[in-house]
């Protein structure tokens, strides 16, 4: 016979655990917000009420790739054929900013027509579960992964290939995948070389490694900017936020800032403007 005291103790422990356990989260409807963050552990989408983005007009030096991505996204939002896009290249040149800015520009013209869902690199294995949720709805979705790359002994890229184009179901018609990376082929050189050294046919190992990036119909390259473009970025921010500073002072300070950072990029320009605004006693508000 079970001990009544033990049974009562176990019941109290179970009830205490029930009280401590968080209530299961329900998915937010895709028409309840413009952007969402995917939480793989809980299997739910969390609305993002305020997206951290800049106006598309403030992105300088990337006119060609901006127009290509904007047109591709406009076609997708209108229900037409469109490609997955990989934005690759120099750090700080506006890859993730462009994706968020394009989304913002489109929903400003047609509110509610397009949702932005962010999935983190570490949660790529949960992508099939997320796509099941998105496939069930009719809302059109940009699935966004920032800084996508793979290192040695990481086999996640194989499952991602199947999800994007190669699986039986393929990518849902209402979903498009945009990713950013510093690497054109998403993998480190040593990862590709290691596969070559252990393969019977090295060329086949290379084909296996780069076939993931082939799943992206658009490859949009971002490259370091020259000084003129760097100044244009800064002047755009200064005018937009109404920072009062003489042109010569602005130019001299911008040059000094880029030299201390050892680089010129959109990120460096933005960091300079933040510092400048702080010294002028201003708070930057979008």
Q: What are phi and psi of 162, to 5 degrees?
A: -65, -40
What is the band of 202 on the pLDDT scale with cuts at 50, 70, 90? low
> What rounded mean pLDDT belongs to the chain?
84
**Quick one: the chain helix, strand, coil %, rounded to 5?**
50, 15, 35
Q: Does the pLDDT value for residue 249 go beyond 90?
A: yes
The pLDDT score that the predictor gives to residue 16 is 73
The pLDDT score that the predictor gives to residue 28 is 73
User: pLDDT per residue over 126-175, tens digit each?
Assistant: 888 899 889 888 889 999 999 887 765 666 666 677 777 656 677 788 99
The CA–CA distances, whole Å, from 112 to 61, 115, 172 equal: 29, 7, 19
pTM over 0.75: yes
Asked which of 7-11, 170-174, 225-229 is least confident by mean pLDDT, the reply is 7-11
What is the band of 201 on the pLDDT scale with cuts at 50, 70, 90? very low
Contact predicate 175/131, CB 8 Å: yes
Q: Is 71 helix (H, G, I), strand (E, B) or coil?
A: helix
User: pLDDT per residue over 176-187, tens digit each?
Assistant: 999 999 887 775
Asked which of 59-63, 185-189, 202-206 is least confident by mean pLDDT, the reply is 202-206
> 257: closest CA among 224, 230, 226, 285?
230
181 strand-pairing partners: 88
The pLDDT score that the predictor gives to residue 187 is 59
Q: Which residue has the higher pLDDT, 113 or 8?
A: 113
- Helix (H) or strand (E) run with residue 39 in it: strand 35-39
Q: Does the pLDDT value for residue 196 go beyond 50?
A: no
The pLDDT score that the predictor gives to residue 215 is 80
Instruction: Look up residue 147 and give its two tokens.
Output: 């800084």
Distance CA 283, CA 111 (A): 28
Q: H-type helices in 49-188, by residue range?
A: 63-77, 95-109, 127-135, 156-161
Interhelix angle 95-109/63-77, rounded to 10 degrees, is 40
Beta-carbon count within 10 A of 122 CB: 9
Q: What are phi and psi of 61, to 5 degrees?
A: 80, 5
> 249: closest CA among 284, 280, 228?
280
Rg, C-alpha atoms of the chain: 24
What is the band of 22 on the pLDDT scale with cuts at 50, 70, 90? low
Buried/exposed code over 228-251 (b: 16+ C-beta within 10 A; e: otherwise) = ebbbebbbbbbeebebeeeeeebe
221 strand-pairing partners: 88
Average pLDDT of the residues in 53-80: 94
User: pLDDT per residue over 80-131, tens digit each?
Assistant: 999 999 999 988 999 999 999 999 999 999 999 999 999 998 888 888 889 9
Q: Which residues neighbour 192 within 8 Å (Cβ) at sequence distance 6 or greater?
A: 185, 205, 206, 209, 210
Provide the CATH topology of domain 35-221. Answer: Rossmann fold (3.40.50)
Q: Does the pLDDT value for residue 212 go beyond 80?
A: no
Q: Does the pLDDT value for residue 284 go beyond 60?
A: yes
The pLDDT score that the predictor gives to residue 138 is 84
Percent of the chain with pLDDT over 90: 52
Q: Is 52 helix (H, G, I), strand (E, B) or coil?
A: coil
Q: Does the pLDDT value for residue 208 go beyond 80?
A: no
Q: Does the pLDDT value for residue 230 go beyond 50?
A: yes
Q: What are phi and psi of 184, to 5 degrees?
A: -65, -40
């Amino acid at each position: 016979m079970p001990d009544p005291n033990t049974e009562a103790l176990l019941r109290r422990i179970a009830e205490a655990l029930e009280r401590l356990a968080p209530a299961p989260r329900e998915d937010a409807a895709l028409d309840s917000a413009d952007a969402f963050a995917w939480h793989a552990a809980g299997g739910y989408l969390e609305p993002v009420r305020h997206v951290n983005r800049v106006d598309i007009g403030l992105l300088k030096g990337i006119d060609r790739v901006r127009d290509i991505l904007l047109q591709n996204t406009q076609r997708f939002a209108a229900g037409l054929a469109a490609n997955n896009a990989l934005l690759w290249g120099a750090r700080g040149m506006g890859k993730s900013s462009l994706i968020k800015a394009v989304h913002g520009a489109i929903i400003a013209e047609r509110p509610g027509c397009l949702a932005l869902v962010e999935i983190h690199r570490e949660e790529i294995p949960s992508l099939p579960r997320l796509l099941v949720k998105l496939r069930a709805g009719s809302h059109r979705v940009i699935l966004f992964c920032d800084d996508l790359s793979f290192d040695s002994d990481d086999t996640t890229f194989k499952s991602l290939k199947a999800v994007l184009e190669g699986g039986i179901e393929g990518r849902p018609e209402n979903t498009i995948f945009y990713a950013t990376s510093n690497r054109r082929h998403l993998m480190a050189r040593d990862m590709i070389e290691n596969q070559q050294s252990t393969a019977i046919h090295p060329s086949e190992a290379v084909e296996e490694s780069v076939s993931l990036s082939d799943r992206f119909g658009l490859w949009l390259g971002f490259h370091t900017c020259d000084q003129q473009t760097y100044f244009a970025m800064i002047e755009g921010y200064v005018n937009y936020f109404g920072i009062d500073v003489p042109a010569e002072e602005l130019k001299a300070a911008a040059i000094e800032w880029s030299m201390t950072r050892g680089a010129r990029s959109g990120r460096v320009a933005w960091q300079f403007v933040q510092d400048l605004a702080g010294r002028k006693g201003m708070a930057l508000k979008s």
